[in-house]
């Protein structure tokens, strides 16, 4: 069965909103990690706000991002929304109604990981429904003080299992947790 993998940029104080603050920590190590992460996936699952931002940016970034940009634009994308009727970005499908059932069906299909970027509200709902199999948290050495936090709703007493850590020279740490369903 395929995994739903959440990949988030997170400040030390848990903020995920508007991650422009991550640019100052960019590194080759980070780029390699993100490349391998996308390579191990073949589907994107996005909330509407993240979808809108990605759909506006990624079609214009293929030349500068090469294979990574080709994957971002070519992979099937599922956008969970109550406000969009149609998704214009290449290979995009709108999921409305019982999206939990649609995601369960996606997990049953053959393929690689289903990757969730950004999409804070969607992640909180997926967590409440126990549909997230793995969290890859790229923690940046910065305290922002305010902004949308990843672990606001749906995470009461949720125990996760740490399965991997990586540290980059920039001070960024990647913490990988799996859902603890024992």
Q: Which fold has domain 4-179?
A: Dihydrofolate Reductase, subunit A (3.40.430)
Instruction: Show me where the domains of the chain are located.
Output: 4-179
CA distance readout (Å), 116 to 9, 50, 101, 128, 168: 12, 10, 17, 15, 22
What pLDDT shows up at residue 137?
A: 97
Q: Check: pTM over 0.85? Answer yes or no.
A: yes
What pLDDT shows up at residue 182?
A: 67
Which residues of the chain, if any, have pLDDT below 70?
153-155, 182
C-alpha dihedral sign at 8, 9, 15, 21: negative
Do 55 and 92 meet the contact criterion of CB atoms below 8 Å apart? yes
What pLDDT shows up at residue 94?
A: 96
What pLDDT shows up at residue 180?
A: 84
What pLDDT shows up at residue 157?
A: 74
Q: In whole angstroms, give the CA distance from residue 36 to residue 115.
A: 12
pLDDT 10s digits, 84-135: 989 999 999 999 889 999 999 999 999 999 999 999 999 999 998 999 999 9
What pLDDT shows up at residue 73?
A: 95
Report percent pLDDT > 90 for the chain.
85
What pLDDT shows up at residue 155?
A: 67
């Amino acid at each position: 069965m395929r995994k739903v993998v959440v990949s988030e940029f997170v400040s030390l104080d848990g903020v995920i909103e508007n991650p422009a603050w991550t640019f100052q920590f960019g590194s080759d190590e980070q780029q390699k990690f993100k490349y391998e992460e996308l390579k191990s996936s073949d589907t994107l699952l996005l909330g509407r706000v993240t979808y809108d931002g990605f759909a506006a940016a990624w079609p214009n970034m293929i030349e500068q991002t090469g294979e990574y940009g080709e994957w971002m634009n070519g992979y099937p994308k599922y956008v969970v929304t109550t406000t969009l009727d149609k998704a214009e970005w290449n290979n995009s499908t709108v999921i409305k109604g019982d999206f939990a059932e649609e995601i369960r069906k996606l997990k049953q299909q053959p393929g690689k990981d289903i990757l969730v970027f950004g999409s804070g509200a969607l992640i909180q709902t997926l967590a409440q429904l126990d549909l997230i199999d793995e969290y890859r948290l790229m923690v940046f050495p910065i305290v922002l003080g305010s902004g949308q936090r990843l672990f606001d709703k749906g995470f009461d007493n949720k125990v996760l299992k740490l399965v991997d850590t990586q540290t980059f020279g920039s001070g960024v740490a990647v913490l990988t947790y799996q859902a603890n369903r024992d």
